[in-house]
Chain A
């Protein structure tokens, strides 16, 4: 009886010790457990060993630092506002335009992958769409079909933004004037992401 009891005690000790060693090995391999809290306006993607595991919403999330990473972003609307931009038109005249828009992240995973900094993407897309569609117009068509042109820009931007994981909440073009020279450089009132004047 005494021998059996000793055996059991020693076996338990050995097992306990092995369990401790196993735990130490597991923690060393997996990393340290931490908690990341996402606020109501934040969404993210959880990565394990560098690969996306699942999309996560607001709340507390357990993350093993070392093997897991929670990449998160802000889903509050992004305002894009540009004024006094000049675009050449098809009839060798030019237009002065400005727009304001509001864009929101719809799909955080798509947004994470669409660019190095996803918050720049709405401005890039809107600038591209507006300039492209206005450049296809003449001064007369801008005067006559202003609403249709703005709708074309909106539709094109919506498609491109959706492909990048965003939704266009609003788009307005309060400034659209025709008659300046195509080579004129308008005074820049808003910061530009990337522009060149030679």
Chain B
């Protein structure tokens, strides 16, 4: 092989690599890179339509027609403290609960809620109050059953927006159950 031939091959390699580099550069122009850790998910939209949920990894996307909404899958502890309620017998009571908000469906959570924690928190509180208004004789002795029924009710409600809660822990429960007043009762009977 002569010197000219080697120079020819070298020039060809240079030209090809420059071409490949320029094509690659053109292809990646305007693209952004995003790294999704294992405790997050990326909800990928292309031209305004949902495409997929991205797991952990590094992704390139074109922000001009693609969007990746990051959803944090880590639990968010919440406390609802001293929530006044009325049970089915209109007895007043106070309850405090602690639980953790979880994302079950990143796509639904990203599209149905503007702020996952704030919005879900309100839903949990309202469901808790509604569930307690159906209960009769709410007391500390049936706290385990109550906790289970609250967890189920809240999870049913939150499932509509792709969220859930871990087991609800009742940290405070007080219900005012008035004692039967014999004097008033006897007066009515008379």
Interface-lining segment among A35-43, A72-80, A82-90, A142-150: A82-90
Q: Is B153 engaged at the interface, CB distance under 8 Å to the other chain?
A: no
Contact status B38-A193, CB under 8 Å: no
> In the assembled complex, which residues on chain A have CB atoms less than 8 Å from the CB atom of B72?
116
Contact status B84-A132, CB under 8 Å: no
Q: Is B130 engaged at the interface, CB distance under 8 Å to the other chain?
A: no
| Interface size, B (range) | 35 or more
6 chain-A/chain-B pairs, Cβ below 8 angstroms: A21-B17, A21-B20, A50-B37, A86-B82, A124-B77, A198-B83
Q: Is A182 engaged at the interface, CB distance under 8 Å to the other chain?
A: yes
Q: Provided the pairs A47-B35, A50-B38, A195-B82 are in contact, do residues A88 and B76 lie with their beta carbons within 8 angstroms?
A: no
Q: Is B79 engaged at the interface, CB distance under 8 Å to the other chain?
A: yes
Question: A42-59, CB under 8 A of B: which get 1 and which 0?
Answer: 000001011110000000
Q: Is B189 engaged at the interface, CB distance under 8 Å to the other chain?
A: no
**15 additional contacts, CB 8 Å, given A121-B77, A132-B98?**
A7-B6, A10-B3, A17-B10, A17-B13, A28-B24, A49-B57, A50-B58, A51-B38, A92-B174, A124-B78, A132-B171, A132-B172, A185-B82, A194-B121, A195-B82
Contact status A10-B83, CB under 8 Å: no
Contact status B83-A50, CB under 8 Å: no
Contact status B173-A196, CB under 8 Å: no
Q: Is A24 engaged at the interface, CB distance under 8 Å to the other chain?
A: yes
A128 contact from B24, B56, B76, B98, Cβ within 8 A:
B98
A interface majority secondary structure = mixed
Q: Is A163 engaged at the interface, CB distance under 8 Å to the other chain?
A: no
Contact status A194-B35, CB under 8 Å: no
Contact status A71-B82, CB under 8 Å: no
The residue of chain A having its C-beta at the shortest distance from the C-beta of B25 within the complex is A28
> In the assembled complex, which residues on chain A have CB atoms less than 8 Å from the CB atom of B98?
124, 127-128, 132
Question: A107-141, CB under 8 A of B: which get 1 and which 0?
Answer: 00000111110001100110110011001100000
Query: Cα distance A68–B37 when bound, in Å?
Result: 9
Q: Is A67 engaged at the interface, CB distance under 8 Å to the other chain?
A: yes
Question: B1-34, CB under 8 A of A: which get 1 and which 0?
Answer: 1110011011001100100110010001000010
The residue of chain A having its C-beta at the shortest distance from the C-beta of B24 within the complex is A28
Query: Cα distance A7–B4 when bound, in Å?
Result: 10
Contact status B57-A182, CB under 8 Å: no
> In the assembled complex, which residues on chain A have CB atoms less than 8 Å from the CB atom of B2?
3, 6
Least Cβ distance of B147 to chain A in Å? 12
A14 contact from B13, B56, B117, Cβ within 8 A:
B13
Contact status B14-A116, CB under 8 Å: no
B3 contact from A3, A88, A114, Cβ within 8 A:
A3
A180-198 contacts to B (CB < 8 Å) = 182-183, 185, 192-198
Question: A1-20, CB under 8 A of B: which get 1 and which 0?
Answer: 00100110011011001100
> In the assembled complex, which residues on chain A have CB atoms less than 8 Å from the CB atom of B140?
90, 135-136
> In the assembled complex, which residues on chain A have CB atoms less than 8 Å from the CB atom of B21?
21, 24
Contact status A135-B171, CB under 8 Å: yes
Least Cβ distance of B184 to chain A in Å? 20
Query: Cα distance A113–B81 when bound, in Å?
Result: 25
Least Cβ distance of B73 to chain A in Å? 9
The residue of chain A having its C-beta at the shortest distance from the C-beta of B77 within the complex is A124
Query: Cα distance A185–B84 when bound, in Å?
Result: 11
A135 contact from B6, B33, B172, Cβ within 8 A:
B172
